[in-house]
């Protein structure tokens, strides 16, 4: 694999990832862009102890452009985009409208494919492996950024989720703080270790799911996927490597080799959940990795969480009063029923 780093016209970094070492990426960004500027701020809610980011410049970000003006497609002739090359495999660049930037972290866009009409589920295993390589490389690089404490590689798919660019892509957030969800995980992890005299809560959770078996979706050689016992979303799957590792960088060759097949299987099952006539399933998929400054990082278990807000054909799970106001989830689908359905659609084509 080959990595080529260049700069866009406004100074932002762009990185091409290619499967072949002889790939040449020397196209220049010909757009007349002013130097990139952004202003982020982080405030802390004293009652909840949670950090909140502010990025007022994002109000002017690109919003549902027509396909022939997509900023994530390769540049063609005089139609210039964020990708100067006329073709690419995987491209990562600094977000033009970042939530966090400078001393307060970094935000990047990951373009999975040059095909505007594609989806991650439609990628080949080789293409998915290249995306995994990009996620891993960016995690390792952002670990060196003085303003980044935690990295989250994720994909939002579907207008229902709030996606404003239809081209298949994801994002990487380098947070300047440890996120609230991770903070709660770490507190539970520490409490379990204290209560059990050194036990690991992630290990115990996976052992319980294997022993129960009702919510297991995929049990592969190196990866294990299940619907959690207390899933919040209508259809939610957690994917773990069998070997506990703190982040993507720590995966071994066997785990990397098997991941594309397992992950593509999960995404394709999600697209079959609601029948052949249903539109593509909207989802959020993201990697939970150990914060960089965490003590005993090996206690954290890397895992991917994949979920959809669609609860049945034509119906979405809205976060209304209870969920949004109090953070108290009430789900319409039992986790065991969700797992049954995800196993059922494994054989459908």
Active site residues per annotation:
169
Quick: pLDDT tens for 130-155.
Answer: 999 999 999 999 999 999 999 999 99
Average pLDDT over residues 316-342: 95
The answer to whether the Cα torsion of 262, 264, 270, 272 is positive or negative is negative
Q: What is the pLDDT of residues 67-125, one digit of tens each?
A: 999 999 999 999 999 999 999 999 999 999 999 999 999 999 999 999 999 999 999 99
Question: For 181-238, how does the pLDDT look when each residue is reduced to its tens digit (9 = 90+)?
Answer: 999 999 999 999 999 999 999 999 999 999 999 999 999 999 999 999 999 999 999 9
Contact indicator for 286, 293 with CB cutoff of 8 Å: no
Q: At what angle do helices 125-142 and 253-272 cross, to 10 degrees?
A: 120
Please check whether residue 38 is in contact with residue 55, taking contact to mean a CB–CB distance below 8 angstroms.
Answer: yes
DSSP codes joined into one string, 62-128: --S--GGG-TTSBPBTTB--SB-SS--SEEEEE-SS-SS-GGG-EEEEEE--S-TT--GGGS-HHHH
Assigned CATH topology for domain 2-28+60-175: HIT family, subunit A (3.30.428)
Among 56-60, 71-75, 196-200, 327-331, the range scoring the smallest mean pLDDT is 56-60
288 vs 77, 96, 132, 177, 327, CA distance in Å?
A: 40, 24, 14, 14, 20
Question: pLDDT at position 348, please?
Answer: 56
pTM over 0.85: yes
User: Is pLDDT of 309 > 90?
Assistant: yes
DSSP string, 314-331: TEE----IIIIIH-----
Specify the pairing of strand 41-45 against strand 150-157.
Answer: unpaired
Per-residue tokens: 123: 């990628």
Q: State the pLDDT at residue 39.
A: 85
Angle between helices 180-196 and 201-212 (to 10 degrees): 80
Six-digit token pair at 115? Answer: 């095909």
Backbone angles phi, psi at 169, to 5 degrees: -160, 165
| Torsion of Cα atoms, 334 then 336 then 341 then 342, to 10° | 110
Distance spanning both ends of the chain, measured CA to CA: 32
Chain segment 39-51, per-residue pLDDT in tens: 899 999 999 999 9
Find the helix or strand (DSSP H, E) in which 172 lies: strand 169-175
Q: How do residues 249-274 score in pLDDT, each as one tens digit?
A: 999 999 999 999 999 999 999 999 99
The residues pairing with 304 across neighbouring beta strands, listed in sequence order, are 239, 287
Question: Hey, what CATH class is 182-347 in?
Answer: alpha beta
User: What are the structural domain ranges in the chain?
Assistant: 2-28+60-175, 182-347
Quote the tokens at residue 75: 């540049």
Q: What is the mean pLDDT of the chain?
A: 96
State how far the alpha carbon of 319 is from the alpha carbons of 245, 309, 310, 311, 341, in Å: 32, 9, 12, 12, 23
Residue of 265, 21, 261 lying closest to 126 (CA atoms): 261
Task: Give whole-number Cα distances, 142 to 108, 176, 253, 270, in Å.
Answer: 10, 11, 22, 31
Asked, colleague to colleague, whether 2-28+60-175 and 182-347 share their fold, the answer is yes
Q: What is the structure's pLDDT at 188? A: 98
What is the chain's percent helix, strand, coil content, to nearest 5? 30, 25, 45
In this structure, are strands 169-175 and 90-94 parallel, antiparallel, or unpaired? unpaired
């Amino acid at each position: 694999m080959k990595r080529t780093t260049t700069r866009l016209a406004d100074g932002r970094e762009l990185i091409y990832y290619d499967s072949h070492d002889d790939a040449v990426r020397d196209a220049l960004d010909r757009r007349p862009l002013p130097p990139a500027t952004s202003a982020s701020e982080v405030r802390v809610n004293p009652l909840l102890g949670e950090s909140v980011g502010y990025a007022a410049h994002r109000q002017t970000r690109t919003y549902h452009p027509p396909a022939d003006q997509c900023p994530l497609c390769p540049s063609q002739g005089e139609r210039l985009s964020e990708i100067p090359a006329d073709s690419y495999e995987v491209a990562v660049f600094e977000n033009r409208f970042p939530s966090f930037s400078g001393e307060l972290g970094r935000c990047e866009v990951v373009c999975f494919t040059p095909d505007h009409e594609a989806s991650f589920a439609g990628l080949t295993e080789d293409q998915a492996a290249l995306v995994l390589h990009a996620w891993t490389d960016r995690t390792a690089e952002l670990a060196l950024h003085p303003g980044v404490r935690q990295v989250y590689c994720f994909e939002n798919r579907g207008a229902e989720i709030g996606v404003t660019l239809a081209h298949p892509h994801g994002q990487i957030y380098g947070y300047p703080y440890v996120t609230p969800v991770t903070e709660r995980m770490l507190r539970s992890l520490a409490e379990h270790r204290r209560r059990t005299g050194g036990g690991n809560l992630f290990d115990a959770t996976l052992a319980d799911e294997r022993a129960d078996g009702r919510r297991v979706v995929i049990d592969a050689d190196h990866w294990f996927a299940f619907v959690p016992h207390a899933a919040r979303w209508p259809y939610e799957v957690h994917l773990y490597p069998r070997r506990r590792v703190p982040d993507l960088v720590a995966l071994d060759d066997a785990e990397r080799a098997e991941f594309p097949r397992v992950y593509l299987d999960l995404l394709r099952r999600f697209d079959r959940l609601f029948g052949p006539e249903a539109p593509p399933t909207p989802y959020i998929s993201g990697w939970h990795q150990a914060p960089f400054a965490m003590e005993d990082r090996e206690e954290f278990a890397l895992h991917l969480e994949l979920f959809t807000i669609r609860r049945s054909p034509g119906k979405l799970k809205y976060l209304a009063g209870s969920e949004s106001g109090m953070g108290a989830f009430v789900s319409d689908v039992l986790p065991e029923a969700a797992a049954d359905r995800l196993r059922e659609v494994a054989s459908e084509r």
